[in-house]
Structure 1
Amino acid sequence: MTLDRTLSIAPMMDCTDRHDRYLLRLISRRVLLYTEMITANALIHGDPARLLAYDPFEHPVALQIGGSEPERMAAAARMAEDFGYDEVNINVGCPSDRVKNGAFGACLMAEPDTVAECVRAMRATVSIPVTVKSRIGIDDQDSYEHLNRFTAAVAEAGTEALIVHARKAWLQGLSPKENREIPPLDYERVYRLKRDWSALPIVINGGIRTLDEAAGHLPAVDGCMLGRGPYGSPWSLAGADSRFWGDPDPLDSPHEAVAAYMPYVHARLAEGVPIHHMTRHMSGLFQGQPGARAWRRTLAEGAAAGGGAEIIEQALARLPEPEAERAAV
């Protein structure tokens, strides 16, 4: 199966959960969505039905897995396929201590053969695409030659795409947040990698916040992955479907996004999901628009007070009327 990787949303811990992905899917029907990272051990020893639950509306959606033991990674990939995910992705980019201590994430860039063994084991187990997400390097192993050797190993093993965060990771001395901001971006290195590996789909990631920025990268690579920009401002994805695929855009305003999201909110509340699990992803919907601060504050205060769906209506009331409604008066 071949997935369209033109535009995707990065896997982000504590961000891209099922509630966030549903909201983003309302805004774009075509962008490829990624889950938060889930470890292979958590899936094997935990509750896969809870960890892997998602709404079919989220498709296309990929599961990101953390781990370094081929047999366990293959078992986790099998679960991903059984649950209907469209892709399974190996995390070789996260620099947090928790990930590092678990022998997966960015530290695996120093072990390309291990990653390659995981890719082979997973490819032998599932028919959905197996992909890898990496950095351009780690610590002092940050030359193009290191990146090229890593790419050769996973390409030979059969990865169907390589997603490259265009920053190296410092495994000592920088926090995960600092590793997203301090090491300089080197987009040209990813462009060079694509030139040298023309047959391998290469997706660029790192510091790309807007559709305009994504469009600027696409002539040099096969796809562009956005992260913190669309998470902090979900409506910044609006227009992606018409711009990149020539499809009709599903919604015309963030007000329409709220209205479309409300049935989902009510369904989750009926299941006992706290309102905050949904509203925290909605807080940036009106970013840059009049009333955005009041919208955010009302949602946050209402969720903290234990409110229900009515807090969303209260937050909407703090916003100016949409232009279309004002014109109809």
Structure 2
Amino acid sequence: MKPFIGNHVMVSGKNLILSLPPADLMAHRNGTVVSEFTLLGSTSQHDLQLLLFIFFLPIYLLGLLGNLCLALLIWVEQPLHTPMYYFLSHLALMDLCSCSTVAPKMLVGLLRGHDTIPLPACALQMFFFAAASDAECCLLAAMAYDCYVAICHPLHYGAAMPRRLCQVLVAMSYTTGTASGAIHTSMAFRLPFCGTYMLDHFFCDIPPVLALSCTSTELNQLLLLAVCGAIQSITLAAIVASYGMILCTVGHIRSQRALSTCGFHLTAVGVLYDTLIFMYLRPNGTFAPQTDKMASVFYTVIIPVLNPTIYSLCNVEVKQLVRRRFSKQRHPTCCF
């Protein structure tokens, strides 16, 4: 029997070095290969799990239906083919991606008590959610700039916001989100995992996955701080600057409608950025499972429901088009 020490094998008194990657080396030490994580879910109390399932299922369905209907309405209705609603339709798609990536698995976990997820599915879930979240931050900055041009420079709005520019801003949002998600996912799943493989969360978010690593995650934490910090700080600065100039203009013209619209938009932005900053821009080693689960619920389930409500149901033009479409269906015109 040849003694196995680290990645060295003793053969006839000589050391032969085996070239094994960290994950394979960890698999040899533990005797098993990591193929899946066990999601412990939101809570371990069975009665509370059923109550949470009953509570979150209609919220998820409402967010799914609201964002889908909003995107379809914008694409179908010609009066909504403007830059503002063009951005809003893509925001609805990002919210659809975000909630559909996380909520179904969370609901299954609430029914079963806990659930398992294969490593490839865990990586895909992390990638799509991270990409959608960062892309949404970029898109909100584009929407804030569009709102600033529409309110502060209405006479030059057509020249300042051509269709080509809107397409470029949306493409940049998707590209930035995709790049960010790819960086964090690839770096996270290069790490070796050890221990019980119990993921104390209801989806494969970056901090709880990093907490299961056997090695140092300092590089991952630095990338998280650098990439997410740059995206969130730059977009937040653009949003604050845009809305600051909007509020100054609104103060001069005293438009209550514009003021209320800005208030609704800033509320949605504030909820999103507060939770993202709390989750991803913290010092290393401050992962608190129960607190983080509560915060995660806001940007995975609640915000995808809030966005269509704030950006559409509080919009007079959208409500008028919805009423008109329903009235046509109830009272179709007859031709004689």
TM interval, short-chain normalised: under 0.3
Larger Rg: 2
Bigger proportion of residues as helix: 2
Bigger proportion of residues as strand: 1
Q: What TM-score results when the alignment is normalised by the length of structure 2?
A: 0.23
Structure scoring higher RCO (CA < 8 A, sep ≥ 6) equals: 2
